[in-house]
Amino acid sequence: MTSISYVKQQRITRLCVRCGLLLMQYGAESAVVVDLSKRLGLALGMNSVECSLNFNAITLTTICDERCITTTRDTINQSINVNLLVQIQQIVNKTEATVDHNELIDRTTLAFDELDKTVYPTWLVSVFVGASCAAFAYLNGGSWSITAVTFIAGMVAMFTRIYLSKHHFNPFITVIVTAFIASLIGATTYYFDIGNNADIAVASSVLLLVPSFPLINSLSDILKGYVNIGVGRAVFTYMLTLSACVGIVMALVLLRIQHWGF
């Protein structure tokens, strides 16, 4: 194999850490982040790639001809984007399958530059989230009026959450405000005596705040040996849940509703 220069190894290192960084930011579990980062480096000509993850950082080392280059990057949590994760995996698979290594680094870099990061429109996501909350309310015995209030609450809450996230608010503050708005609208069923069971409206309105994906990732990380980042993700998930509870209680206290529950 042709000897790889220091500058070329630097570019490969940046590509590998970029791959891992994107995977972490958009919701991949730790085992996938490490596996794809290593596979990309090996496919580009490295002898070995070592990767270490923390909750908010990634450290990666490439080794070639007994020469090591190490880099560290901070991560910023983004919304879950499975489509982006699949695209990155396809890039790695394509790089591994390439026989002609001429300009392979340039082609791989271009593929990362052209990643499709488009998401569904905010209004469309809000409508479908509202519909899912309304469906949950209906399946739990809510009347049509309860279902309608839940739909409005879920839709407005999701719109608020996306708006605050786009403006880089603290994630815990975002969840508190979202839970407050969802519960405030849902709790109007208590205040105005709407429907057959107001408890269903309040419970279903905050369904969108259940951190299922991060919770599954944290458990998966712990079971696969990535205890450090797994515990970090679990604590983050529990704090999100606590924030949602704070928002719900604030809304109920504001409306002077003295009891809530089935």
Please write down the HEC assignment for all residues of 29-81.
Answer: CHHHHHHHHHHHHHHCCCCEEEEEEECCEEEEEEEECCEEEEEEEECCCCCCC
Structure tokens at 120: 């569904």
- Does an H or E element contain 235, and which? helix 227-254
How high is the mean pLDDT of the chain?
89
Average pLDDT over residues 219-232: 90
- DSSP annotation of 195 reads S
Output the pLDDT for position 69. Answer: 93
Residue type, position 41, single letter: G
Residues 11-56 have pLDDT tens digits of 999 999 999 999 998 988 999 999 999 999 999 989 999 999 988 8
Whether the pLDDT of residue 262 is over 60: the answer is no
Per-residue model confidence as pLDDT tens digits over 129-158: 999 999 999 998 888 999 999 999 999 999
Q: How confident is the model at residue 258, as a pLDDT? A: 66
Reported as a pLDDT band with limits 50, 70 and 90, residue 257 is: confident
Read off the tokens for 2: 């042709």
DSSP helix/strand/coil, 201 = helix
Q: Which two tokens stand for residue 85?
A: 């994760």
Stated pTM of the model: 0.85
Tell me how far CA of residue 102 lies from CA of 2, 38, 65, in angstroms.
11, 20, 20
105 pLDDT higher than 70: yes
Q: Closest Cα partner for 14 from 93, 102, 113, 90? A: 113
